[in-house]
Amino acid sequence: MKAATQVDLELADEIGKFYADPLGFVRFAYPWGEPNTELANEPGPDPFQEQFLIDVGKEVRAHAFDGASPVMPVRMAASSGHGTGKSVLGAWIADWILSTRPNSIGTVTANTRQQLQSRTWAAIQHWTRLCITAHWFVIGAKGVHAKAAPESWKISAQTCKPENAQAFAGQHARTSTSWYMFDEASNIPDGVWEVAFGGLTDGEPMFFAWGQPTRKTGTFYQICFGKQRDRWDHRSIDSRTSRFTNKQFIAEQIEDWGEDSDYVRVRIKGLAPSSDDLQFIPDDLIRAAQKRDAQSLPDDPLIAGVDVSGGGAAWNVVRFRKGLDAKSIPPVRISGEQGRDRNALVGKLAEILRDPRPERQVAMMFVDASYGAVLVERLKVLGFKNVAEINFGARCPDPRHYANMRAYMWDRMKAWLEKGAIPDEERLETDLGGPSADTNRQGLIVLESKESMAKRGVASPDDGDALALTFAQPVAPVRKRTPGETHHYHGEGSWMA
């Protein structure tokens, strides 16, 4: 048997043949069709992935980096419908660069922490473990580095919040490749792009960006459809052309939304929306509300919104708002599994409604009727008058503009965010930016359903719906209590202690 070092030298020589051939690398480096592996029945890349890899190789050969003199960056972008295998493609490219370019340095990000951790980075970890060169590297929760040179040969995962922009700075590889990968790039702040562009000034730099083009503004729009498009190799990918997508479900979406709707343009065809933004609440509005100081008037009512889970991965969430302040009182969150005991949920809501402290006395509690109607009925039997069920799909107070109550409440919340304050919570931030919106054939605003979001891999916006419920109906200002007047309450402690 040959020594391990000799085997690695021969492997390195073989891998080196794929320096300008990422498609060849992908076909060689993973166990496609091998019995007793997870790829036993997998034929390899689909046509979109294959062509993208071919074009990356063409760019590398055209730039002809000599190991010393800097060349123009390889800049590749794809605006795509959902489910086309972009995260997997990104993992293959990451492994190709790692394996063929010693002392390369890469940074990977995505539009949200959840997307980065559960999809983009998870795909890189998974495929790197499958790769024939896996034993060359240490694969971690936030990075991959070469055992031979951990400081100068690596990839790191970074969140894309504006305050983290400097994490993308100072990345250089004068004799190798400095590279960036932006997943679901439409909602990555422009400031992060600007800092990352500074890492493309030497060596053989590369930049890969893809995602659903949910906005008609921002850097991703510019590189795909705007003034920077001639500097990038860009393509639009229709979900219907991918072998990975559910064609029957796509047909249902087209039937529901209409062939010419922005939903179909963006989520299926990978084209820019015809209106300004498909994401209903833009990220800049959310981030401004996170930084704003909480304000409320003495007689502003404390309103609670309760989004009730049907079990499973979704959460039961109670969020609170007092005037412009949705920040000061933390939410109450109960897992879907724990919430299967409806009596326990009733007890928790009753505890909230009985809180004796004046600043914590709920004037009105609005509960999602889909799973919460039974809770409201029980609370009323217990004597609570300040609780009401809200049917998300019901007719709303403004039926000329909104298709249902859910769209109406979210739009009121969106307007409130111009002056309101919310906590800097990753979960709430993700939820508020999750749903898309469009107009139906009657011209009414429709918010994307939880079911639709789940099918395109976006988490159920439980916290977002809970906050939106606080806008269900106007609630009168609170009156001053007469001396000695209190809520009747028995028991030790408090839900907000």
Domains and CATH numbers, the chain: 4-246 (3.40.50.300), 283-471 (3.30.420.240)
pLDDT number for residue 489: 33
Supply the DSSP string of 227-267, one letter for each residue.
TTGGGSEEEEE-GGG-TTS-HHHHHHHHHHH-TTSHHHHHH
Listed residue (46, 139, 45, 59) closest to 98, CA to CA: 139
Q: 455 with 239: CB under 8 angstroms?
A: no
Q: 265 with 238: CB under 8 angstroms?
A: no
Give tens-digit pLDDT for 386-399: 999 999 999 999 99
178 φ, ψ (degrees, to nearest 5): -100, 125
Non-local (6+) Cβ contacts of 30 within 8 A are 39, 127, 130, 131, 132
Q: What is the DSSP letter of 320?
A: E
Residue 225 burial (CB count, 10 A): 16
Say how many residues make up the chain. 497
The Cα-based distances of 40 to 34, 127, 132, 382 in angstroms read 5, 15, 16, 59
The DSSP bridge pattern shows strands 137-139 and 74-80 to be unpaired
The DSSP bridge pattern shows strands 137-139 and 143-146 to be antiparallel
Q: 171 with 144: CB under 8 angstroms?
A: no
| CB contact burial 73-82 (16+ within 10 A = b; e otherwise) | bbbbbbbbbb
Ranges of the chain with pLDDT below 70: 1-4, 276, 311-313, 339, 456-457, 480-497
Q: What is the DSSP letter of 43?
A: -
First CA to last CA across the chain, in angstroms?
67
β-bridge mates for residue 156, sequence order: 107, 143
Residue 97 burial (CB count, 10 A): 23
β-bridge mates for residue 277, sequence order: 215
Q: 210 with 185: CB under 8 angstroms?
A: yes
The Cα-based distances of 434 to 37, 279, 430, 449, 459 in angstroms read 35, 7, 6, 10, 8
Query: What span, in angstroms and rounded, lies between the C-alpha atoms of 182 and 118?
Result: 15
Helix count and strand count (H, E) for the chain: 17, 15
Give tens-digit pLDDT for 316-368: 999 999 999 999 999 999 887 776 788 889 999 999 999 999 889 999 999 99
Listed residue (357, 358, 361) closest to 384, CA to CA: 361
Residue listed under structure tokens 């760019």: 59
- Joined together, the tokens standing for residue 376 give 């409201």
Amino acid occupying residue 33: G
Give tens-digit pLDDT for 182-196: 999 999 999 999 999
pLDDT number for residue 482: 52
